[in-house]
Amino acid sequence: MRLIQGMVAAAAVLVVVSILGGLGLTVLTARTLDRIEARDEIRLVRRSIEVSLERMTRELTSATVWDAAYAAMGAKVDAPWADINFGAYYKEQFEHDVAFVLRDGRVIYASRDGKRGDARALGGFPAQAAPIAAEVTKDAAAVLAKGRLSTGAEVTRRGLMKVDGAVYLVAFASVTPESRAVADAYAGPPAVVVVARRMDGPFIRRFADDLGLEDLQLLAAPPGLKPRVQLADINGRPIGVLSWDAADPGLTLIKSLAPWLALGFLVMSLAAFFLLRRVMEALAQIRDSRRQLIAAKEEAEAANAAKTLFLANMSHEIRTPLNGVLGMAQVMAADTLSEPQARRLRILEESARSLMALLNDILDIARLERRAMRLREQPFDLVEMVDAACSAFSGAAAAKNLGLKVDVAPEAGGRWTGDPIRLRQVLGNLVANAIKFTEVGGVTVRVRPLTKGLRFEVEDTGPGIAPQSLPSLFRRFSQADLSMTRAHDGAGLGLSICRELIELMGGSIDVRSEPGQGSSFFFVVPLERLADQRPSLRVVGS
């Protein structure tokens, strides 16, 4: 009996030891997985910061390697040119917070948030940037002295800087000529353009969403044992810490498999062996998935950067000659022309304006994709805004013998707060489409108040839209059907821009239509009322 009791006790001890050993081995494996995951996250954060700086440098040099920039920053600084091509361009296209130009340690142009200012608006930026800019100037002068031009002569620097208590991504680039004639026209010290983007709350949140990190924070000192990346400025000095909550996939995995672990450990070490193998397989899959995610993210960022640069360059390259065409057409219109010549000139001007409208639509799409579109909040008179949006098309309606009516409910009249420019853009687009596709009858614009905001409706007596075409109507580069595309010009961007603008305002847009019964496009936007009501029922055109 004692022998049996001893054997049972030994078996019990063996079971306990096996369970504890298995649990210890599993916990050790889970912690190892957590440490590997933390190291992968740290490498991903460091790589993403470097990718952001590389992209920022490409964005900067898209407007610095340019004959026009070299001439504008030459002996006589062209500040209005810099307002458009440096200040507004870097802010609107790439969301850079600061852009300024240094030459010989002196600020010759300064812009903050896309608006020109003096050097005092830059705070401590000029003093901290001057040594780096001096290095760029020295290298750029040496390269130009060797006869190099264009991208072969550009000199850049990039890194982090802490200015006035805030951390910025900063890029430097020399202003570089493309042609020998422009380079010879100015032989002074090269100018250096500096752009900076602040690592503020919205930047950190977007950065965390892109990388899938929880509670990412930019701190002055490391917080306990959380995963973190020490940030150093462009000169190697520590300036802060990026810290986040550990994902701990191993601990999560143990919690989800706890019942199976208990059952497995009861059948001794064999179950522990299979569990360990499964954990290792899961670890391998997680690491492979993370590598694929990093590769896909970098590929998508490169493609998006290329598209953004293409659109930005298109803005410079197409708008300038197109404005020249329109300007020359207006000059020619002032001359005495025969009727055939005047008709051809009108066709030329209308075609140029159509191309300009298409370019503006494409740039609006790019801004909406990059979330760079910013809405204004300002008071406006509803009746005046609706009249302005509709009166621009009264001539087109009269040319087709169509009625154009505006019906603003008396209780909706008065002053409201919102973005009247974007509201007018959406309403004008819908009215233009209604007139374009309507041959008989007319177009009616109605505005009605809601509990919170306004409801706009544009109704026409046109041919209507087939039910199968309605789902794709608000997609980009889409029209109702191929026959419509051939009968009426357009790139299919207008309704897509309308939808994205309305959704950006927090509203919604939809359509009701039946073949042969006309169409009704309507949208609802949340707006705040400011003024008294006043009626508005009028006929804009007939």
In a domain, 298, yes or no: no
d(CA 170, CA 232): 12
In a domain, 402, yes or no: yes
Considering the domain architecture, whether residues 355 and 440 belong to the same structural domain is answered as: no
Residues with Cβ within 8 Å of 391's Cβ and at least 6 positions away in sequence, in order, are 540, 541
Q: What number is the average pLDDT over the span 260-271?
A: 68
State the residue for tokens 């929880």: 214
Tens digits of per-residue pLDDT, 24-68? 766 666 677 768 888 888 999 999 999 999 999 999 999 999 999
Judge whether residue 533 has pLDDT over 60: no
**Residue 420, exposed/middle/buried by CB under 10 A (0-12, 13-18, 19+)?**
buried
Longest dimension (CA), the chain: 127
Considering the domain architecture, whether residues 422 and 536 belong to the same structural domain is answered as: yes
Local structure of 86: helix, strand or coil: helix
Considering the domain architecture, whether residues 386 and 491 belong to the same structural domain is answered as: yes
Number of domains in the chain: 3
> Residue 479: which CATH number?
3.30.565.10
Q: Which domain holds residue 363?
A: 307-369
In a domain, 457, yes or no: yes
Considering the domain architecture, whether residues 67 and 194 belong to the same structural domain is answered as: yes
Local structure of 83: helix, strand or coil: helix
Considering the domain architecture, whether residues 517 and 441 belong to the same structural domain is answered as: yes
Considering the domain architecture, whether residues 354 and 454 belong to the same structural domain is answered as: no
d(CA 123, CA 322): 39
In a domain, 154, yes or no: yes
What is the pLDDT at residue 471?
A: 78
In a domain, 203, yes or no: no
Judge whether residue 360 has pLDDT over 80: no
In a domain, 235, yes or no: no
Considering the domain architecture, whether residues 332 and 408 belong to the same structural domain is answered as: no
Considering the domain architecture, whether residues 132 and 89 belong to the same structural domain is answered as: yes
Would you say the C-alpha torsion 94, 99, 104, 108 has a positive or negative sign?
A: positive
Considering the domain architecture, whether residues 400 and 455 belong to the same structural domain is answered as: yes
Region of poorest pLDDT, from 141-150, 213-222, 306-315, 436-445: 306-315
Judge whether residue 277 has pLDDT over 80: no
In a domain, 87, yes or no: yes
State the residue for tokens 């919604």: 508
Boundary-marking domain end, from 198, 232, 267: 198
Considering the domain architecture, whether residues 388 and 485 belong to the same structural domain is answered as: yes
Considering the domain architecture, whether residues 86 and 193 belong to the same structural domain is answered as: yes
Tens digits of per-residue pLDDT, 105-136? 999 999 999 999 999 999 999 999 999 999 99
Local structure of 307: helix, strand or coil: helix
In a domain, 241, yes or no: no
Question: What average pLDDT does the chain have?
Answer: 83
Q: How confident is the model at residue 483 (pLDDT cuts 50, 70, 90)?
A: very low
Boundary-marking domain end, from 150, 179, 198: 198
Region of poorest pLDDT, from 48-57, 276-285, 455-464: 276-285
Boundary-marking domain end, from 350, 369, 388: 369
Considering the domain architecture, whether residues 350 and 465 belong to the same structural domain is answered as: no
